[in-house]
């Protein structure tokens, strides 16, 4: 795409493109048969992630959704119960895949930012155990998401994770951490990846979000857990051949793209701050902890669809999640892009609001994939400026 056509890509950090240097690392990758455990680049990446997360072993996957499916499969038996936050990616955005692949019940905990506490977990366990066994579902696993995507890129503190993990352990439940953006949490909090990961029995990292690689996620846990995960990865047809081509991009990202996540967080903060100064826009994440900004423009008279379509006409792509607009910063979004996006929004709001369906003339279908049927997440009042 020429720069004249470039749309500022704020729909998701998954839109990030491999850099020129990453493409060179990919082109030069040493490769072998991953399915046989013989790809040297994949093996190097697995060892590196196991060390980073303080786990005995790690296993390469094409993406994070399969890490969740395989981990949940290893931790549970059909008809077991998994406890997760109500906005968890496994509930909202994985096509009920855990019901299909693991035949489990998922018990949701309602929280505000995707972060629950030990008493929320105790209450969920109480709900599951109101009837005596064998009628009651059998809770086996707690899933946490670090950072929490639909919770606004929220970061679990180490204390919050430890409290939930300790109770889970005392109740005989395992803990699985969806760490799609764990390194954003590390950079934002200063807590190490290993400290966060120590609160979970299984944990994975995604390389295709803010880290900017095109393919790859790595799941980590005990040696026995990973041996079983390898079996289910094959069952789910996830084993590959010369996957080092992709793993090389992930190693490159680990070396070069971690500390810079702080820039994405600063850019998200700048965007939230500027949007909060615009009358009629209610920002749910006025002080984003990481790289996501959620806001509601309905106070301006614009419908989400028309707003997104008009924004695209002016060179900016954002998406809609649960009735709100979501903007996600990443390595292809600069501080200047944030300012351009804010200027585009200000210009739109000077025109007459279009409250109806998406303007057909724009030729742009805002990310309908992200239109979710769940109720909008309640916004706290926007602080006065
Ligand atoms: C929190 C979370 N978990 C899991 C996933 C799925 O990861 P992947 O797209 O690599 O399958 C995503 C993707 O956006 C995510 O945000």
Query: What CATH code is carried by the domain that includes residue 326?
Result: 3.90.1150.10
In a domain, 375, yes or no: no
What pLDDT, on a 0 to 100 scale, did the predictor assign at position 355?
53
Same domain, 235 and 273: no
Same domain, 318 and 252: no
Q: Which domain holds residue 30?
A: 20-256
Ligand 1 binding pocket includes 149 (Cβ within 6 Å) = yes
Same domain, 107 and 24: yes
Instruction: Out of 66, 67, 206, 319, give the residue to mutate to test ligand 1, the one with the largest number of ligand atoms within 8 Å of its CB.
Output: 206
What pLDDT, on a 0 to 100 scale, did the predictor assign at position 354?
67
In a domain, 312, yes or no: yes
Instruction: Out of 180, 204, 291, give the residue to mutate to test ligand 1, the one with the largest number of ligand atoms within 8 Å of its CB.
Output: 180
In a domain, 2, yes or no: no
What pLDDT, on a 0 to 100 scale, did the predictor assign at position 4?
53
Cis bond upstream, residue 147 (ω within 30): yes
What is the count of structural domains for the chain?
A: 2
CB atoms within 10 A of CB 309: 22
In a domain, 298, yes or no: yes
Q: Report the distance separating Cα 36 and Cα 45, nearest Å.
A: 16
Q: Which of 230, 208, 209, 234 is nearest to 219 (CA)?
A: 230
Same domain, 98 and 180: yes
Ligand 1 binding pocket includes 215 (Cβ within 6 Å) = no
Contact 318, 10 (CB under 8 A): yes
Same domain, 175 and 321: no
Same domain, 248 and 279: no
What pLDDT, on a 0 to 100 scale, did the predictor assign at position 16?
94
Ligand 1 binding pocket includes 165 (Cβ within 6 Å) = no
User: Where a domain ends, among 256, 272, 306?
Assistant: 256
Ligand 1 binding pocket includes 85 (Cβ within 6 Å) = no
Ligand 1 binding pocket includes 146 (Cβ within 6 Å) = no
Q: What is the per-residue DSSP string for 114-149?
A: S---HHHHHHHHHHHTSS-TTTS-EEEEEEEESSBT
Q: Which CATH number characterizes residue 61's domain? A: 3.40.640.10
The count of residues in the chain is 385
Same domain, 346 and 323: yes
Same domain, 248 and 179: yes
Residues 58, 102, 195: CA angle, nearest 5 degrees: 35
β-strand 292-296 against 324-328: which pairing, if any?
antiparallel
Q: Which residues are CB-neighbours of 88 under 8 A, at least 6 positions away?
A: 108, 114, 143, 145, 148, 150, 178
User: Where a domain ends, among 234, 256, 278?
Assistant: 256
Owner of token pair 């406890």 = 83
Residue pLDDT tens, the chain, 385 long: 444 578 999 999 999 999 999 999 999 999 999 999 999 999 999 999 999 999 999 999 999 999 999 999 999 999 999 999 999 999 999 999 999 999 999 999 999 999 999 999 999 999 999 888 788 899 999 999 999 999 999 999 999 999 999 999 999 999 999 999 999 999 999 999 999 999 999 999 999 999 999 999 999 999 999 999 999 999 999 999 999 999 999 999 999 999 999 999 999 999 999 999 999 999 999 999 999 999 999 999 999 999 999 999 999 999 999 899 999 999 999 999 999 999 999 999 988 776 544 443 344 444 444 443 333 444 444 433 3
Same domain, 184 and 73: yes
For residue 59, give both structure tokens. Answer: 């296993």
Ligand 1 binding pocket includes 217 (Cβ within 6 Å) = yes
Q: CA of 292: how far to CAs of 82, 133, 171, 268, in Å?
A: 27, 42, 34, 6
What pLDDT, on a 0 to 100 scale, did the predictor assign at position 131?
83
User: Where a domain ends, among 197, 228, 256?
Assistant: 256
In a domain, 202, yes or no: yes
Same domain, 153 and 238: yes
Ligand 1 binding pocket includes 145 (Cβ within 6 Å) = yes
What pLDDT, on a 0 to 100 scale, did the predictor assign at position 133?
79
Contact 32, 244 (CB under 8 A): yes
Please tell me the distance between residue 145's alpha carbon and the centre of ligand 1 in angstroms.
Answer: 10
Same domain, 221 and 339: no
In a domain, 8, yes or no: no
In a domain, 10, yes or no: no
What pLDDT, on a 0 to 100 scale, did the predictor assign at position 382?
40
In a domain, 378, yes or no: no
Q: Whose CA is nearest to atom 12 of ligand 1?
A: 180
Please tell me the distance between residue 187's alpha carbon and the centre of ligand 1 in angstroms.
Answer: 19
Contact 258, 211 (CB under 8 A): yes
Instruction: Out of 13, 65, 177, 210, give the residue to mutate to test ligand 1, the one with the largest number of ligand atoms within 8 Å of its CB.
Output: 65
Ligand 1 binding pocket includes 182 (Cβ within 6 Å) = no
Which of ligand 1's atoms lies nearest the C-alpha of 63?
A: 10
What pLDDT, on a 0 to 100 scale, did the predictor assign at position 353?
76
Same domain, 81 and 93: yes
Q: What is the per-residue DSSP string for 204-220?
A: EEESSSTT--SS-EEEE
């Amino acid at each position: 795409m020429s720069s004249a056509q470039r749309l500022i890509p704020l729909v998701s950090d998954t839109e990030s493109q491999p850099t020129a240097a990453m493409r060179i690392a990919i082109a030069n990758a040493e490769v072998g048969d991953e399915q046989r455990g013989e790809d040297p680049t994949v093996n190097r990446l697995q060892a590196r992630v196991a060390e980073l997360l303080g786990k005995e072993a790690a296993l390469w996957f094409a993406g994070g959704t399969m890490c969740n499916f395989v981990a949940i499969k290893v931790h549970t038996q059909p008809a077991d119960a998994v406890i997760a936050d109500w906005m968890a990616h496994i509930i909202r955005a994985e096509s009920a895949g855990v019901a299909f692949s693991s035949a489990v019940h998922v018990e949701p905990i309602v929280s505000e930012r995707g972060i629950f506490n030990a008493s929320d977990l105790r209450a969920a366990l109480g709900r599951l155990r109101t009837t005596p066994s064998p009628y009651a579902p059998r809770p086996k696993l707690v899933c946490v998401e670090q950072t929490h995507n639909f919770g606004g890129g929220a970061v679990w503190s180490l204390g919050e994770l430890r409290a939930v993990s300790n109770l889970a352990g005392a109740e005989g439940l395992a803990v699985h951490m969806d760490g799609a953006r764990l390194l954003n949490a590390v950079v934002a909090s200063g807590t190490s990846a290993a400290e966060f990961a120590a609160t979970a029995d299984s944990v994975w990292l995604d390389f295709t979000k803010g880290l900017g690689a095109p393919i790859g996620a790595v799941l980590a846990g005990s040696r026995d857990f990973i041996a079983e995960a390898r079996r289910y990865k094959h069952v789910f047809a996830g084993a590959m051949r010369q996957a080092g081509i992709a793993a090389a991009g992930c190693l490159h990202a680990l070396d070069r793209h971690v500390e810079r996540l702080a820039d994405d967080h600063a850019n998200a903060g700048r965007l939230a701050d500027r949007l909060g100064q615009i009358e009629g826009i209610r920002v749910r994440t006025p002080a984003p902890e990481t790289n996501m900004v959620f806001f509601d423009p309905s106070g301006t008279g614009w419908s989400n669809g028309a707003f997104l379509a008009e924004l695209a006409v002016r060179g900016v792509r954002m998406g809609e999640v649960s009735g709100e607009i979501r903007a996600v910063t990443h390595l292809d979004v600069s501080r200047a892009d944030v300012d351009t996006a804010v200027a585009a929004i200000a210009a739109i709001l000077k025109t007459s609001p279009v409250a109806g369906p998406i303007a057909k003339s724009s030729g742009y279908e805002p990310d309908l994939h992200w239109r979710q049927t769940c109720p909008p997440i309640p916004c706290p009042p926007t602080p006065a400026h």
